[in-house]
Structure 1
Amino acid sequence: MGVGDKFENKAEEVKGRAKEAAGSATGDEDLKNEGKADQASSALKKGVEKVKDKANEVAEKLTGDN
């Protein structure tokens, strides 16, 4: 996972937490749910990037490329 991807995912997670907190504070369920969705999206992207990183590591070991 590139540094830019990590930064974007973290920013999305933080934005989601802020939306969820704001929605809770104001009683806005839509905003709260949007925040939760942003956080879930960020977590999914992190998981996909980790799988890609592992696949690349395995491929490098198999091919001897470093």
Structure 2
Amino acid sequence: MAERTDPIDPETGLRAVAALRKLADHLEALHVSDARAQNWSWQTIADVLGVTRQAVHQKHARRTQD
């Protein structure tokens, strides 16, 4: 897919990366919230995301209710 982008216009590519990052962050927050609502542990969520428990907790704890 990356080969199909226009190498002459980096602005378009960078805007696409920023939009994808924003979408990914939103989806992660949504699914972490859903997982916590279903009583998933921070460790289980971290394992699925491939990060540490501390990282996922620090990023999402204030957005979810424990």
TM-score interval for Structure 1 and Structure 2 normalised by the shorter chain? 0.3 to 0.5
Greater Rg over alpha carbons, structure: 1
TM-score, structure 2 normalization: 0.47
TM-score, structure 1 normalization: 0.47
User: Highest relative contact order (Cα 8 Å, sep 6+), 1 or 2?
Assistant: 1
| Greater helix fraction, Structure 1 or Structure 2 | 1
